[in-house]
Structures are given as structure tokens and as C-alpha cells.
Amino acid sequence: MTRKLFGTDGVRGTANSEPMTAETALKLGMAAGRHFTRGAHRHVAVIGKDTRLSGYLLEPALTAGFISVGMDVVLVGPLPTPAVAMLTRSLRADLGVMISASHNPYQDNGIKLFGPDGFKLSDEDELSIEDKMFNGLAEYRVGSDHLGRAKRLDDAVGRYIEYVKATFPRGLRLDGLKIVIDCANGAAYKVAPTVLWELGAEVVPVGVSPDGFNINRDCGSLATGTLSEQVAAHGADLGIALDGDADRVVLCDEHGSLIDGDQLMALIGDLWHRSGQLKGGGIVATVMSNLGLERFLAARGIGLVRTNVGDRYVLERMRRDGFNVGGEQSGHIILSDHSTTGDGLVAALQVLAALIQSGRPASEVLRLFTPLPQLLKNVRVSGRPVAEVLADAAVTSAIEAAEGRLSGKGRLLIRKSGTEPLIRVMAEGEDQALVGAVVDDIIDAIRRVAG
């Protein structure tokens, strides 16, 4: 059965347009609440959000949906996605909800759901919730004497700060480090600078003045120019950039050069391998991760398992085969010894621990391999369905020709976005000119077909 509402990372769309309307959020709250009403105890949902204006629209709608099926609601306000996952477990709640469109601009929003174990939902759970949404919701309403209640958790920020600090090696401090932290005007704008300051760093905060509209605008992990500029301007030792809901992270060294998720996985994987902490014999990454990462790990006897794009697929493989390090090139880093989902702050602290212990500059510690030339371009498709465009003979012919040119010299990856009407075209190989040429040829074919 195909999911109608859920994508690769929850439900996402333009705020106040379907499916990101108050009506749909209400129905989703009712259906998810009913799905997770199991047993005779008082049931609880935790709701967090990022800093988008539309959070004020979706939060009360979801709350009303849960209350109408007899579920209590704990509201934690703006907090990172991993904080909601952590609090769901800590509070023994029945499910957690994060209202966020992650790295997307403020016009978009999304709803991510976590089960009582703090993990994102399975396809089966999502299908069951969708079925309830579209079939007989009225029967799930409880009587007026069994309605749920809602309350705010005043110390949610403090709880998450202490949780994150506890993942940093005991006995280490960040004294002597000047760190630029770019919070993307998003969910971590309070917690991230506080964590670093309490561990002893001199902190230069950026992107910590959200106004409902400026989340991810010219800042954060997808707009790292701001981070590099601030590192240079302040003579900082390191820069850290989070995205809007702080489940992904990228860094830059003291020269402002970018350190992506592949380099971070290489560093943490190698460090944990040498200390005996690495489980599963390797790490899990997606098909987007650079071949340079795979070669680096192989030279050290560390395996690399690839999955489809999406941190949920990385995590599913990690849980199935016992890995404890995984992630994406984009900066979703999952360290399952510490958290149940990607956590940008937790990953950054592991990197900072390695930096402190080495006593060397970030430029020497954080870049462990030379990536192969890799190019990713996105094409927005609005006139025709994405699947129809990809199946067109002109596009399939261009893809076949590109694969022939790259044969034995690189690889090609074409996929549709799970969250936006985009087609992503990626090529990788030893010859940078060839990589660029094959990507452009496919992009041109897609644009002609899509009109």
C-alpha cells in the first residue's frame, strides 16, 4: 500500500495549504492519538516545534486532535527534533511530535512523529495512521468527561541541555576554544550556545534571533557562507552550523573551509573504531556519500553499508544490524549510543572532543580524506508529475548515455526528493569535467521534458 500523506520524513508542505493545514493537523492528531492509545493508562503526547510562524497554526490544531481522543499533551515549545525524541522517552510518553520543515524556508512546515521508544515511525505505523485519518475519524472521539488536558513543560530546555552535555566525555572541557555556532534562527537558538558556553568555550552566536520568517535564511547548514565569514571575522577555532530543527550539522575549520557529514562520519567512525566503541564493524551511510569516505574506511578495516537517501533508512539499517554510527553527507549524524535520531549538537560535541584531545587545529584533524569530484544539482518540476518526467524516453535516454560515459570511471544517482517536487541528479568520478558534463546533459533533458 502506498502512503498518501507521509513522505521520507513525516508530512511536509507549504504552510496553510494542504497537507499543512489546521484541518489536516487536527485529523492527524486524532488518528495518531488513537493509533498510540494502547492499554488503560493515561496517554500522553509531547509536541515540540521550531521557530516558523506557522507553528502557531499547527501546534494548537494537533493539540486539539490529541485532546479529542482522550490523550494528554505536553507542550515544550521551540526545541530541536532530537530533544523531542529524547523527551518522549524521558516522560514515558506514548508518542512525540515535532513541527518543523527542517532546512526548508519559513513558508514550509512539517510534522514528524516519534513512537514511545523515541524512534521515527515505521511504514506500517504511518499507513495505519493514514487509514484512520481517511476512514471514520468521528468514532475515535471520546466523551466530554474523558477529554485530554494540555500543559507546558517549563524546564524542557534545561533537560535537553543536560542530556547533550552528558554525551561529552567526562573530564574534558572546551576551555580555550573560540567557536562560532550558527543556529539558523531555528529550534536550537537557545540550547546550542548554552551547551557550548557551559562546557567552557568562548561562543560567537549566529542565527539566534528568530522572528518567524528568517529560519534558514542566509544561515544554517545549507547556507554556510555566513558561518565561514564569521569564523574569519572573529578568528575562531571552529564553526558549527545547524539546520532549522538541529538534527543535522556541518562544520568549518579555522580557515572557513567546510567539513561535511562524510568527513564527520570518517572522524567519529575511525575514533570509535580505535577506542573499541564502534559496533557492527563499520558505519551506515547513504548512496550519496562520497567514494572517498568508503576508501578511507576500507583502508582502516572499517566497513561501509549504503542505504537509500533519508536518515530513517540509515537508522533502520543501524537498528537491524547493530551499527552505532551512521548518517548522511548532508550532516544527519546518528550516534545510537546517545540518541534515537540525528542530533547535530551531540555529533558536534564528539568532534570537539577529538579536537581537544588532539591539541591540533581543526584543519588538520577534521579533514581525513580527499573527496572525489562530486556534483549534485536539483531540478524543480511543476508542470508534470516527477515520476512521469523521470519515465519519459528522452530522460531515460540521457541517463543511459551518461552511465555509458561514466562506466568504470564513476557513478550516477538520479532520484526524486521525498519532501519537495524536485529531481536530484548526482554524479561522481575521478574526472571533474566529465562529472559536470553528464549532470548538465541530464538536467537539460529533464528541463526540456518538464517544460
**What positions carry a catalytic annotation?**
102
CA 128 – CA 45 distance, rounded (Å): 18
356 SS3 class? helix
CA 296 – CA 366 distance, rounded (Å): 13
How many Å is the Cα radius of gyration of the chain? 22
CB-CB contact of 342 with 311 (8 Å): yes
Burial 237-247 (b: 16+ CB within 10 A, else e): bbbbbbbbbbb
Q: 19: cis peptide before it, omega within 30°? A: yes
CB-CB contact of 94 with 38 (8 Å): yes
DSSP codes joined into one string, 221-245: TT-THHHHHHHHHHT-SEEEEE-TT
CA angle 188, 194, 196 (to 5 degrees): 100
Beta bridge partners of 318: none
Q: Which residues contact 432 (CB under 8 A, 6 or more apart)?
A: 373
DSSP code at position 292: H
CA 129 – CA 286 distance, rounded (Å): 27
14 SS3 class? strand
DSSP code at position 242: E
The HSE-up count of residue 262 (CA atoms within 13 Å, CB side) is 23
